[in-house]
Each structure stands twice: as C-alpha cells, then as structure tokens.
Amino acid sequence: MAGNHEAASAPQTISVSRSAWRWWKNLAARDGRVAATRQLLTALFEFVRDSTPERRRQHYGDAGYDWDHRVNTTSAAVGWRDRLLGVFHSPYQPTEAVLFHEMIAALSAEARFGFCDFVFIDLGSGKGRALLMASDYPFRRIVGLELLPALNYAAQENLSKYRSESQKCFAIESICADATEFTFPVEPTMLFLFNPFPEPGLKSVIENLERSLRDHPRKVYVLYHNPLLEHVLTESVALKKIYGTHQYAVYASD
C-alpha cells in the first residue's frame, strides 16, 4: 500500500441528523425553505419505497462483478443507515465493469498518456470497485477516499482479498475521509468521479483542484461518470472537455 496520502482527517461518525440538516440548509439557500422541505419529504419517501424487499432484491443486479472476482462491492449489501446517509451525501452505487474499461480505453485513445506516470484517484470510492478495476492498469498508485466508514471498511477488505491475473498496480489504498477537503497530490493525476457529492461538494473539489493546478501545473484528467453536474466542470477555467458520451465526460488540464 502507498503510504503518503493527502486526505482530510477520517470522520469519526457521520450523523444522520447533521447530514440531513446540512442537505436541507443548502437546498433552502438555493430554492427556499418550502421547496427544500418538499424535496426532503420526497427523498425520505423514495428511501422508504426503495427499502422494500422487492426493491432491495433488484440491487443484486450489480453483483456479477462480485461473483467473478469473489469480492463484495454490490449496493444490495449496504445497511439501512448507510443507505439513508447516501440520500444526503450520495447513494452508493458501483461503476459497471464494461463501462469502466470503455471509459479508460476512450481516455487513453484520446490522450495517449503513460499510465505509470499517473496516480488514479477515486473521490467517493464506496466499496472500492473502481479501485480494483483501475488496478488492471499500470498506474503509479491508486487512492480512494470514502466518507462512510462501513463502505471504506468493505473496500479495504476487498483490496486485501482481490486476486486477478490481470492486476498491474498493487499500490492501492482506501482512506476514510471527506473528499471535499482533499488536498491533491502534486503528481500527474487521473481523477475519477461517479457522482460522489451534491453540487456544493463538487464545487469545493474543483476549486481545490484548480488551486493545486495553479500552484503546481501538471497533467490532470478528470473522468466524470454519469455527469449530472457537468456545468461545474464546464465553468472551470483550468479544465477543458476533451471527450464525452451521454454516460461520461472527460476533462483535461491545459
């Protein structure tokens, strides 16, 4: 495992009520109190609806990867408290393997970089599936940051169990921390984002990245899977879009 990391301190416990309050406050500042309260009630209703055994069973649809690799990255096996926290931070969902490899292939065709110069960073790494899949490429090292301790624990278990003949990178770590406070390492970076934060969190991350690029100009690629808040990247002065489909967008520093 790589030793040096640049993470904010690991959260002790994440409070559901504090998370809900912050979520509501951000929405109220943007849309007003009535609209924020309505959105809170809708989110809670959807959470209850998605908690029925029938709905829960549908989540096992993402477990094929786990079966093939003998790991536990499925969203079906996440406890109710972590699922509720996911309503206010970002619900855990692993990236699909075929799409992950397609994204990396598209990026390397577009950019023609040397993997071994780059650190792969997944902000909001969940149970670590993207970290495992990234280890099929010869990255210099791989780092994941996950807010929820239970998911980070599952990621660490997965990293220790994972065996694959195609694995090329073995310097992998999963850190429990708030990724919105992450200080980027001063290395060429491939940043992977799969909708890890609501808009204020994504804005902080992109501002941190811009500051880091101003102080230490270097090559950074951002691979944004399911780019729901793409306008945050589009507005960035330090990043330019180099490729995209309806499923992902790729940005690069100058």
Ligand X SMILES: C[S@@+](CC[C@H](N)C(=O)[O-])C[C@H]1O[C@@H](n2cnc3c(N)ncnc32)[C@H](O)[C@@H]1O
Binding residues (CB under 6 A) for ligand X: these are: 86, 89-90, 92-95, 122, 124-126, 129-130, 145-148, 151, 178-180, 194-197, 201
Minimum distance from residue 217 beta carbon to ligand X (Å): 26
| Non-local CB neighbours of 193 within 8 Å, separated by 6+ positions | 122, 123, 124, 202, 205, 222, 223, 224, 225
- Which C-beta is closer to ligand X: that of 11 or that of 114? 11
Q: Beta strands of 112-185 (E only): which ranges?
A: 119-123, 141-146, 172-176
Q: How far is the CB of 34 from ligand X (least distance, A)?
A: 26
The string over 196-233, giving b where at least 16 C-beta atoms fall within 10 Å of a residue's C-beta and e elsewhere, is bbbeebbbbbbebbeebbeeeeebbbbbbbbbebbebb
What is the smallest separation between the CB atom of 122 and ligand X, expressed in angstroms?
5
* C-beta of 95 vs 236, nearer to ligand X: 95
Euclidean distance between CA atoms 41 and 47, whole angstroms = 10
Residue 124 C-beta: closest distance to ligand X, Å: 2
Q: Are 139 and 190 in contact (CB under 8 A)?
A: yes
Q: How far is the CB of 188 from ligand X (least distance, A)?
A: 20
Return the SS3 of 121.
Answer: strand
- Tokens 């330090």 appear where? 238
Nearer of residues 217 and 247 to ligand X, judged by Cβ? 247
Instruction: Between 154 and 220, name the residue whose CB sits nearer to ligand X.
Output: 154
Measured from the CB atom, is 62 or 239 closer to ligand X? 62
Interatomic CA distance for residues 176 and 30, integer angstroms: 29
Residue 254 Cβ, how far from ligand X at the closest point, in Å? 26
Longest CA–CA span in the chain (Å) reads 54
Closest CA to 97 of 133, 61, 59: 133
Using Cβ positions, the residue closest to ligand X within the complex turns out to be 124
Dihedral (CA of 4, 137, 252, 131) sign: negative
Nearer to ligand X, 129 or 141 (CB): 129
